[in-house]
Chain A
Amino acid sequence: MTVTTYPVTITNTAGTTLVGPNLTIDDSCSYWGIYGSVIYTGSKGTVQYCRGLRLNAFTDAAYSIPAPYSAGFSSNNGSYFFVTNLNAGGTGLTPLYLRVYFDANGDNLFDTGDPYLELGPVTPTTDGLLQNISFGDTFIN
């Protein structure tokens, strides 16, 4: 039931319809970040609960300093959302280094034999950067 399309007028006191504020909104406040989907196209196994896809973010090009963003997927073509607003404790619009890998041996670690892809620096935007990720077996750890 949608009532927003009906104009409302107060005609008696049994019920009250208040004249509310005229709300305004602009682009000054938005959720910054990166979002998209993750798809594994390789042949090292099927994405499942115990052999999932992992997406990690780092703040350095050596992929050694973790950023507070990560996502795990138990099925292919999942979605991720990294909100990076500073007031939410995020990294703002600083570039992030994203690495995604398929946990081929199911140990939940990025280790030998795992297909992976390192995307390099990805810069969040205030509108939200759509970064869909698709990778195969080109790179094996």
Chain B
Amino acid sequence: MKSRLLTSWVFLTFFGLILFGFCLWGTGCTSHITVPAVPPPAMTNTWTATNTVTGTPVNPTPTSTATNSPTLTPSNTPGTPGIFTPTSTATNTATLTPSNTPGIPTNTPTPSPTNTITPSPTNTVTYTPTLTPTQTPTSTTTITPTLTSTSTPTPTGTWYTNTPTITPTSSFTNCLTMTFTCTACCTPTATYCAKTYMSGTITYSGSGTVDGIHPIVVSGGFGLLGASVTVNGGTYVIGTCLPGVYYLAVNYYFNSWQMIGMRYSNGGSFSYR
């Protein structure tokens, strides 16, 4: 650019000087030539620069660390791109309908050809001697301990074993029948007879209660079979085999078998001759 400007300036200067000589040489120039001033042309410089940078571009090293806030949940850490490896196994829970259970093939292959094995030689087992069951199982029951019947004290003298059978009858004849079964040396007594009986009722009109522990008792002395009643107004039956006169006494146990408080009365006489 500079060289071009320099060349232009030299050319113009030279051409001016020539024109000035002509003027001076021709004097004949009868008149002045007025040359208007010509302003120099505007100079316009144009240039183009081309920078060529060589080398390996280097990424700038970050000097600060940006922190994301808030912290995202979940905090996923990006993995290294690569081949995706599944870490879980999905299980299908849907049940297929119908649920067919694979069966077992039931085809039985038929071997073919059919082999027939014939063992040879044939073994024969012979038991010697021949056992014959001859025992019949029996059961034996043993009771332990063995019961022993003992009597205390030990009876002395002649021992009779009688089993009386008492047969009371609702329609009295003359006695109670007592049948003895004699199992030893004894003289059986076929009948126990109370010859005469007397019966009636006993009624207590006091403040007590006649029951099992507050009975009314009838007695008449030796030889008289007495009686007691446990229900007010109950029936008594007394009897005797011995002739005589008996004076009856009636006692009511006001205090449950205690003598104190007992009521007493002479209820009459009962004679047998």
Report A's interface with B, CB cutoff 8 A.
1-12, 14-35, 81-83, 125-130
When the two chains form their complex, are residues A128 and B173 in contact, meaning their CB atoms are under 8 A apart? no
Is the C-beta of B205 less than 8 angstroms from some C-beta in chain A?
A: yes
Please report which residues of chain B, range 250-271, place their CB below 8 angstroms from some CB of chain A when the two chains form the complex.
250, 252, 254-255, 258-265, 267-268, 270
A11-B267 in contact given A18-B196, A18-B197 (Cβ < 8 Å)? no
Q: Which residues of A contact B252 (CB under 8 A)?
A: 25
Interface residues on B, range: 35 or more
Quick one: which of A1, A20, A125 has the most chain B CB within 10 A?
A20
Residues of A within 8 A of B171 (CB): 9, 11
User: Which B residues are closer than 8 A to A by beta carbons?
Assistant: 166, 168-176, 193-208, 216, 218, 225, 227-229, 234-239, 248, 250, 252, 254-255, 258-265, 267-268, 270
Q: Given A6-B168, A127-B261, check contact A23 B248 (CB 8 Å).
A: yes
Inter-subunit contact B260/A3 (CB<8 Å):
no
A83 with B260: CB separation less than 8 A: yes
Is chain B's interface secondary structure helix, strand, loop, or mixed overall?
strand
Given contacts A17-B199, A20-B238, 18 further A-B contacts (CB under 8 A): A12-B174, A16-B174, A16-B197, A20-B268, A21-B200, A23-B200, A23-B218, A23-B267, A24-B202, A25-B204, A25-B267, A27-B205, A27-B208, A27-B263, A28-B263, A31-B264, A35-B258, A81-B259
Query: In the complex, how many angstroms separate the beta carbon of A9 from the nearest chain B beta carbon?
Result: 6
The answer to whether A20 touches B198 (Cβ under 8 A) is yes
In the complex the two chains form, what is the Cα distance from A125 to B166 in whole Å? 45
Nearest-Cβ distance from residue A11 to partner chain B, whole angstroms: 6
Q: How far is the CA of A5 from the CA of B201 in the complex (A)?
A: 11
- Contacting A27 at CB < 8 Å: which of B172, B206, B228, B235? B206
Task: Give complex CA distance A40, B196 in Å.
Answer: 52
Choice from A14, A82, A130 contacting B173 with Cβ under 8 Å: A14
